[in-house]
Amino acid sequence: MMLTGAEILLECLLREGVDLIFGYPGGAILPTYDALTKYPQIHHVLVRHEQGACHMADGYARATGKVGVAMATSGPGATNLVTGIATAMMDSSPLVAITGQVTRGAIGSDAFQETDVTGVTLPITKHNYLVMDVHELPYIVREAFYIARTGRPGPVLIDIPKDVQQEKIEFVYPEEEIRLPGYRPPQKARPDEIEEALRLIAEAERPIILAGHGINISGAAAELRELAERAQIPVALTLLGKGAMPEGHPLTIGMMGMHGEAASNLAIQDADLLIALGMRFDDRVTGNLKTYAKKAKKIHVDIDASEINKNVRVDVGIVGDLRTVLTQLVPQVKRAQHAEWIGKIRNWLEDSDERDIINREGQDVLLGAQVINDLWKFTEGDAITVTDVGQHQMLEAQYYPHQRPHSMITSGGLGTMGFGFPAAIGAQMGMPKDEVWAIVGDGGFQMTLCELATAKQENVPVKIAIINNNYLGMVRQWQEFFYEERYYATPMFNPDFCKLAEAYGIPAMRVTSRDQMEESVKFARSHSGPVLIEYMVEKEEIVYPMVAAGRDLDDMIRRPKAGEES
């Protein structure tokens, strides 16, 4: 059948299972938007800024495991996607971004709204394409989705000139198997690698599993749990690894890193074996590399060969699909007990409990930590939470225990302020039966709050929790510790968020005390569309513990115990 390039694009998207696109129209992508009128099977979500489209597609992808799709026009439309694409790249999120481009004859002439978006996004995409021949378009779309979802997932961009979208050709969908020269995502470990890993595990007296995002991406949560229970090995989680192991499990010892659980950091520094699974030894996890886990042998399993020995030298590096590798490894692991080691870690955990502020007497202000912990309590810990970046993000990681994969979504690698709210819209649209909370700060929320209109227009039942301390809280915390409390450019003038929500026709509530917490969750649940709750919290709250940049992982600034405050 004779189809335009735009129609061919949409036919191929249907065959990839796409039924949702987040986008914003413009001249260079208009032929595709016009073609969308013929494809009611694909629902288009009109965002208010292209960055929001990318974050929504990213949140959708992380919540569902499917490839998210964002679409924009050329020039500023395409460049507005850049932050969202970079966020997806850093966090291995499967995404296809589709951009319009000026006509082929105008490329390179500095035409109106022309930008070399493939050049701009080359460092932040897994692959990208400029489509110069409409006959290649169906193959390119198939390849783009294949690349985005296989191996280590990531974003792929397809840039399509306007005249390619308009050109008509006879369309026959290519059914042949995709084969890309040089692209063979690894699967299994070699027998000698498994044998060496088994030997190190059997010899270890103080082993720790470091569970990263790769556990969730590969669907290896059951295999991780079996490994931990079979050999009685404690599990520390990365930020993006939350949910990989139930946080109520007796072997789960909390998040590691800069604002991680102190017991996890101390255990890593004292361990004689680290089993790193689907994590990349990010600097926020390791602290000072020169002193990181010096007593420990190291096993590292990752699907991306470039991550092995990149930051931390390891004794056994296995490149492969994590679930496949664990399926090979776990049945051969000898059952073991590490009672003394686990007892030592539990003592550290008890020490942390003594320092906790959640239920400390004499508090006359609402703390962000209390808000997060009460949200966990009153949502029965079963919500999907999507955070922005800052203090509230770390408090969520500390005080909202997750029991299942993909239930905590956040910008980890890039640390993108403005990510949380639009990503929550995408997650909610991908998982309409789940309860989704966007947990955001007053700073980050203002970067993408224009998407309130999108949430209202689509009637997305996302619950927005603004943790409002009238500061850029994490930056202020650094100024308090390291810049002699010079709070420059961190105090925030904020609008009345409740009135702002009401201007969009969104119900809102303000919370100023802890005894309103249960009521606020009931209020949020009583409405069928978006709801905004503003939690007015202590302005100068500090997230403890904290490992200062460049310091040893176990050199933590910690909250004093009750009665020990200076």
Q: What is the pLDDT of residues 49-63, one digit of tens each?
A: 999 999 999 999 999
Instruction: Name the catalytic one among 112, 195, 485, 522.
Output: 112
Q: Would you state the pLDDT for residue 200?
A: 98
Q: In angstroms, what is the C-alpha Rg of the chain?
A: 24
Question: What six digits make up the tokens of 402?
Answer: 């997750």
Q: Model confidence at 360, in pLDDT bands (50, 70, 90)? A: confident
Q: Is residue 168 scored above 70 in pLDDT?
A: yes
- Short-list 328, 305, 327, 306, CA closest to 318: 305
Averaged pLDDT, 519-539: 97
193 is catalytic: no
Helix axes 420-430, 50-64, angle to 10 degrees: 50
Instruction: Name the catalytic one among 258, 474, 536, 546.
Output: 474
Cβ(314)–Cβ(308) below 8 Å: yes
Q: Would you state the pLDDT for residue 564?
A: 74
Q: Would you state the pLDDT for residue 566?
A: 53
Q: Would you state the pLDDT for residue 434?
A: 98
Q: Would you state the pLDDT for residue 358?
A: 87
Cβ(16)–Cβ(178) below 8 Å: no
pLDDT in tens, 426-484: 999 999 999 999 999 999 999 999 999 999 999 999 999 999 999 999 999 999 999 99
Q: Is residue 538 scored above 80 in pLDDT?
A: yes
Give span(s): CATH 3.40.50.1220, the chain.
191-348
* Whether the bond into 25 is cis, omega within 30 of 0: no
Instruction: Name the catalytic one among 16, 113, 344, 480.
Output: 113
Q: Is residue 393 scored above 80 in pLDDT?
A: yes
Task: Give buried/exposed letters for 475-505 (b at 16+ CB in 10 A, else e).
Answer: bbbebeeeeeeeeeebebebeebbebbeebe
CATH topology of domain 2-170: Rossmann fold (3.40.50)
Q: Would you state the pLDDT for residue 86?
A: 98
Give the pTM. 0.97
- Short-list 1, 32, 2, CA closest to 18: 32
CATH topology of domain 191-348: Rossmann fold (3.40.50)
50 is catalytic: yes
45's enclosing H/E stretch is strand 43-46
Averaged pLDDT, 237-264: 97
Averaged pLDDT, 335-350: 97
Give span(s): CATH 3.40.50.970, the chain.
2-170, 358-536
Q: Is residue 505 scored above 60 in pLDDT?
A: yes
Q: Would you state the pLDDT for residue 192?
A: 97
Q: Which residues contact 329 (CB under 8 A, 6 or more apart)?
A: 189, 194, 197, 198, 227
- Short-list 500, 488, 434, CA closest to 461: 434
Amino acid at the residue 313 = R
Mean pLDDT of the chain: 97
Q: Is residue 259 scored above 60 in pLDDT?
A: yes
485 is catalytic: no
pLDDT in tens, 75-107: 999 999 999 999 999 999 999 999 999 999 999
Instruction: Name the catalytic one among 7, 50, 435, 451.
Output: 50
Averaged pLDDT, 491-497: 97
Cβ(94)–Cβ(55) below 8 Å: no
Q: Is residue 394 scored above 60 in pLDDT?
A: yes
Question: What six digits make up the tokens of 152?
Answer: 């280590």
7 is catalytic: no
Q: Would you state the pLDDT for residue 371?
A: 97
Q: Break the chain down into helix, strand, coil percent, rounded to 5.
A: 40, 15, 40
- DSSP H stretches of helix in 150-275: 162-166, 191-203, 213-218, 221-231, 262-270
Q: Which residue is associated with the tokens 């489509």? A: 131
456 is catalytic: no
Q: Would you state the pLDDT for residue 359?
A: 77
Q: Would you state the pLDDT for residue 361?
A: 65
Instruction: Name the catalytic one among 126, 162, 297, 463.
Output: 162
Cβ(279)–Cβ(208) below 8 Å: no
DSSP letter string, 81-138: THHHHHHHHHTT--EEEEEEE--GGGTTTT-TT---HHHHHGGGSSEEEE---GGGHH
DSSP letter string, 142-158: HHHHHHHHSSS--EEEE
For domain 358-536, give the CATH number: 3.40.50.970
Provide the CB-side half-sphere exposure for 45 (13 A, CA).
Answer: 34
Q: Write down how long the chain is.
A: 566
DSSP letter string, 435-503: -EEEEEEHHHHHHHGGGHHHHHHHT---EEEEEE-SB-HHHHHHHHHHSTT---S-B-----HHHHHHH
Q: Which residue is associated with the tokens 């399993």? A: 301
Averaged pLDDT, 357-382: 90
